[in-house]
Structures are given as C-alpha cells and as structure tokens.
Amino acid sequence: MKNARLVLPAALLGAAILALTAVSPGAPPDLRVTLERLVRTARETNGAYDTIRSLTDSVGPRLSGSPGDARAVAWVKAALTARGFSNVHPEAVTVPHWERGEESGEIVSPVPFRLSLCALGGSVGTPPGGVEAEVVEAQSLEGVDALGEKAKGRIVLVWKVMERRSDGSGYGATVPIRGAAASRAAKMGAVGALIRSVGTSNARLPHTGSLRYEEGVPKIPAAALANPDADLLHRLLAEGKTVRVRFALSARTLPDALSANVVGEIPGREKPEEIVVLSGHLDSWDLGQGAVDDGAGLGIAIEAARLIGQLPRRPRRTVRVVAFANEENGLAGARAYAVAHAAELPFHAAAIECDSGAGRVSGFAWTAGPSAERVLANVAEILKPFGLGEVKKGGGGADVGALRAAGVPLLSPIQDVSRYFDIHHSADDTFDKIDREELNTGVAAMAALAWALADSEAPLERIPEAERVAPRRER
C-alpha cells in the first residue's frame, strides 16, 4: 500500500474539501498566478501543433494492430522521452486487428454511378464479386425492423441526417445506427447494410466507425456512404425508382495483435503516488491521418503536461500522460489500464480525457462527487477572463470511463465540435485541418485544469457509488 490515506473513505475527503472551501471562498492567490501563467504560455506555444504534425506526418493512420499502430507506440514513447517526461514506458495491450482491404460500390440501375463508401469497422467482407441487390430504405433502427419481408434479399439503407450542433448532440442521435444497422437488417433477411455517414460534411468522403454484430445473427457486410451518395439513393427511392446497388468489401478480422498504452509522468513533489491522468488515444481510424481524432487530444495532453513540467515548481501530485491503445474499435487499452493499475486506482485523484478534436475549448466538464462543484468553480473563475471558464457536469470519455467504477473523478474539455464531425472518422482527418490558435485553447484549459487537480491540498470528491456505472456510449 503506497498511501495511508487509502483507508480514509472518499466521502470524508469530500467533506474536508467542502469545509476548506467554505472557510476560504474564492481561488487561492497562488493558484491564480500559476493558472494564468499556464494559460498565457499555452496560447503562445507551437508545442501541441508540432506534436500533432509529427504524429500525423511521421506515423500516419494507426488502426489497432496495423504497422501504423506499432509506429505510434514507438512515436509516443520517443515523444514523451524527448519532452523530458519521467517513467516513460509502454504497457502491453492485446488489441483486435481488423483490416479494411479494398472497397468499392456503385449504383447498377437506374443509372450507373460510382459510389463513395467505406466499410464500417469490424464489418465482414463481401464475396469477391460483392453483393448486389435492390435497395430498401429505412430512416431509423425501428424502421429497419418494420421493413419485415421487404428487406429479405435486399440491401437495407438506413438514411438519417446527423445534425450539426456545437455540443455534438447530433452524434448521439445517429451513431446507434452505425453500431446496430447491420444486425438489425440481417434479422430481416438483408444481404447487406448501408448507412448515411454519421458525419456532418457534404463532401463525398464516407465516415467509418465501429459496428457491433449481435450474437446469433448472421454477419452481413456493412458500409457507410458519403452523405451526398446516401442522399442520391434517398432521392431516387423517393421518386419511386427501383435502385440496384453493388458493393464489394475485402475487409477481414485477423487474430488479435499486440499494442500498448504508453505512459509518461511529471512526478508530483509531495504526493507522487497520487495520480492525475491526462489522456488521449494513440490509435486512429485508417482512412485519414488521425489528426483531430485523436492526434489533437493526444497533442493537447502531452503539451499541457509538458507545460506543467516546465513550471518552477512541480504540482503536489503526479501528472501522468496516458496514450491509450485501441479506443476506436475495442477499448482494450482502457480496460488493460484499469486492470494493470487496479491497486493504484484509489490514488487516482482525477482522469482527464481529450478526445473531441481541435476545436475551441471554452471550459471543462466534470463527473465527481457533489462537493467538486465548488472546488471547480474556483478554477473556472480564474479561467473565465480567458474564455475558458465554462463548467458543466458530465465529464469523461470512452477511455477514462473504465476508471469510473473505481470512482475516479472524470473530466474533459468543453469543446466546439460543430466542425469536428465534418472530418471525424473520414479520410479528411488530416493535419491541415488543425488550427493552432483554436488548438491552444485546449492546451491552456487542460494545463490549468490538470495543475489545479494535481496541486490542490485535497483531491476532488470521488464519484458516488451509485453513479459508478455509466450507460454504454458509442464512440
């Protein structure tokens, strides 16, 4: 056991903080000085920008199990070492290994047209010549069920428009289709499934992402159409045309492969055994460079931690950068971390996840015990003049979600994602999409937040027992 405080119940800790903040409301003056310094430095830095450029241009796409994934592990290790982090090391993770292969599609009739589509992650391949069938449309998963006999032997198109919203809520409203369309269509006897991309762009680039096959249901091939292509099929069908489509995927799932989470630390000066995790994920989809998903998040995490390490005094607790493996299609990295660090989780004071792109950050979201609200309000008050002071409940992410069961307070940036879903999971996720100034709002906010969490006298109140199980969320 590393720390006697482990035996102190979390609720008591929370109460202690509450008492402290009640005695001295407002932010401590030295906290203000440090946060303002971090924000000012972060706004001028090229650090995150150059880090993302190096990752995207020298590693490229890095889907779990691919050669790029292995390059990414080596790159993170080298990058953390070069930036002066301590205790840099990979932690082995067994990951799924799915390969896209080649893919093509076309409208066969009424008029030939080459379609822009991509296999959904995890899809089975088609027979070598592809599948060809008449297309029937549904506009929701329930609509697929309602097709009944009409879907038999057909290709089912699920056509639903993802709405553009700055908070990303349009994603939650459509992404369940990506996960479930294939099995729902297969249950109705369909031979293939197509979806309108879960993305907001009208460029002819499809958006991939994972599907989930239900057990006991035939696995049928599934692909996302670029939105203009889905809309073309939708228009033709709305006119009452009989539309035949052929598509061919050579996608396949190979035996599991070895990857790694990569860790590096800025050791704490007083309580080095207490940890504030600052994280992004090192894998990416294969179509683009993984610049905004999640080169940006990883770049922000690394640079924010580096800036903390550059301060004249280290924070009380250790800031640990974690580059998670396999966020996109398995979360094996998140699970492996939670298992490997199980004994340490009670000393995890907080876990921050950056995985919502490179857009402007306006503050942070949190999930913790109720007393955290007042503590974080002090941080927000300091950040407000910089446009970084928004606070709301509901922080977390797919990777740090694995720490929720242990009650670890979870935090994440509040980020403008109104353009994120134009490029997310598509070939368009390339370095040129990064705006340095917007990116640095994330570096500033996360550096400040991580410092505040790592240097406070007492850690945040942990997530109450009753809230430690979260509903499943699609990524």
Q: Which of residues 72-111 bind a second copy (CB under 8 A)?
A: 110-111
Catalytic-residue membership of 327: yes
- The number of helix segments (H) and strand segments (E) in the chain equals 12, 16
Q: What share of the chain is helix, strand, coil (3-state, %, to 5)?
A: 40, 25, 35
Instruction: Please count the residues of this chain forming the interface with a second copy, following the rule CB under 8 A.
Output: 32
Dihedral angle, C-alpha 363, 364, 370, 372, nearest 10 °? -80
* 104 vs 139 by CB, closer to a second copy: 104
* 415 vs 430 by CB, closer to a second copy: 430
* 135 vs 307 by CB, closer to a second copy: 135
* 121 vs 397 by CB, closer to a second copy: 121
In 3-state terms, what secondary structure has residue 472?
Answer: coil
Distances in whole angstroms, Cα of residue 91 to Cα of each of 49, 325, 329, 342:
26, 10, 18, 14
What is the nearest approach in angstroms of a second copy to the Cβ of residue 55? 11
What is the nearest approach in angstroms of a second copy to the Cβ of residue 212? 27
Going residue by residue from 108 to 127, which x/- string records binding to a second copy, judged by CB under 8 A?
--xxxx--x-----------
Q: Which of residues 287-326 bind a second copy (CB under 8 A)?
A: 288-289
**ω into residue 110 within 30 of 0, thus cis?**
yes
Q: Where are the alpha helices (DSSP H) in 284-435?
A: 296-310, 332-340, 372-383, 420-423
What is the nearest approach in angstroms of a second copy to the Cβ of residue 197? 13
* Given the residues 103, 265, 303, 327, the one annotated as active site: 327
What is the nearest approach in angstroms of a second copy to the Cβ of residue 4? 49
Quote the DSSP letter at residue 294.
Answer: I
Structure tokens at 75: 């790159």
What is the nearest approach in angstroms of a second copy to the Cβ of residue 285? 13
Going residue by residue from 205 to 234, which x/- string records binding to a second copy, judged by CB under 8 A?
x---------------------xx--xx--
Whether residue 191 contacts residue 223, with contact meaning beta carbons closer than 8 Å, is answered with no
Which residues contact residue 33 at a Cβ distance below 8 angstroms, ignoring those fewer than 6 apart? none
Residue 431 in the binding site for a second copy (CB under 8 A): yes
Which residues are known to be catalytic? 327
- Chain residues binding a second copy by CB under 8 A are 53, 57-61, 67, 71, 110-113, 116, 201-205, 227-228, 231-232, 235-236, 288-289, 427-428, 430-433
